[in-house]
Structure 1
Amino acid sequence: MDDKLTNKEKLEITVQTGLQLVPYIGGALASSYFSVKQEKRFKRLESFYQELSAQISRLEDRLPSVEAHDKDSLIALIERINDEVERESSDHKRIYLKNFFISMLQNPTVKQNYDERQMLLDTLTSITFFEFHVLLSMSNNHTGYAIDFPDADPAVKEGAVARLEMLGLLQSTYMAETRTGTSPVNQYVSVSSFGIKFINFCLNIEPEPEP
């Protein structure tokens, strides 16, 4: 048995020790912080798997055999999802993680698509709920799923679009509009093919068959 502490455990101890050094409230704060933190993580995982179990039971007859998956690839992704569920405070993001879990069960996870699914999961964990709905609002096929944020600062939305483009979920095309004496260039932003795949996977929507 390996008694060495993992990097995660070392970090937890460092944070707890650091909090205890805070004058006056340090000890109580450290105790409260870690007890609440662990309880929340447990509750998030418990709720996640209860909901997931209920959904899977309705889909069971339509799921491929476990043997269709590459177990190492599937387990690696499940471990990542568990870590994210523990940390994620947004109920909405946890719903998308649950959809992601179901999507990767419905379509066998194998070595050939592991990297792609890792990229999709990395992308999901890195964007905010707001950014996800900015993306939905820009997709012709998914606007019905989008939540509007009428009070959102336009500058924040502009920043969200820039980040989504950087992640490869949006793409820009530029077209020159020739006029007398001028040729202004207009930018058109649309959802990329990777963005469509990402949305379908996180909403658990079967993709449209290719013509």
Structure 2
Amino acid sequence: MKLQHLVQFEMGTLLSRLTEQPSSPCYSLYDQADLQADFEIRTESTEGKQICTPDSPTLLQEGDIIFSLISGTAVQVCQTRAGYVFSHNYARLYPSKELDNAFLVYLLNNDVGIKRQLITSLQGSSVMKYSLNQLRNLQLSPLPPLEVQQAIGQVDRLQRRITMLKKRVAENEAMLTSYLLNNFQKQCKSNIKD
């Protein structure tokens, strides 16, 4: 079964078609930093580029599934980024009731068969990019029951969160070690001068 039989797709706003006016409502633009934050389930704001326009751009909502046509990564949007504008470099996916949202994210990011299909049909010569058509035509293996999908999706989500927290702990430990070593070095230099 193809993904298009279980999912509806919506492309983001083509930013070049938006009229920019400084006095108009301003919106944050969803970018790769936001995608990474959502992938790691980080809720802090990334405060990227903004666009002020009188037009009605396509806005994200909490829980939306976004697929990056640049990186080939799928995420669920955190509440922090609800109201962000997403560009034509992203597609919003609306899965049917037969497909759990978190499981769909898991499939697109981790399923070996899907990854193989995505890689073998990349578009572009110098800049590789995924296409919406390529995404629609992904061939899926038979789906497990919905309860199993939900369990797998939840485990995947928790694992990404744990990985992010471990990375943050390692970065904090490295900063603390560096700070302590710098202070130790300063004390040694001070003792030598005395």
Q: Which has the higher strand share?
A: 2
Q: Which has the higher helix share?
A: 1
TM-score after normalising by structure 2: 0.25
TM-score after normalising by structure 1: 0.24
Relative contact order: is structure 1 or structure 2 higher (C-alpha 8 Å, sep ≥ 6)? 2
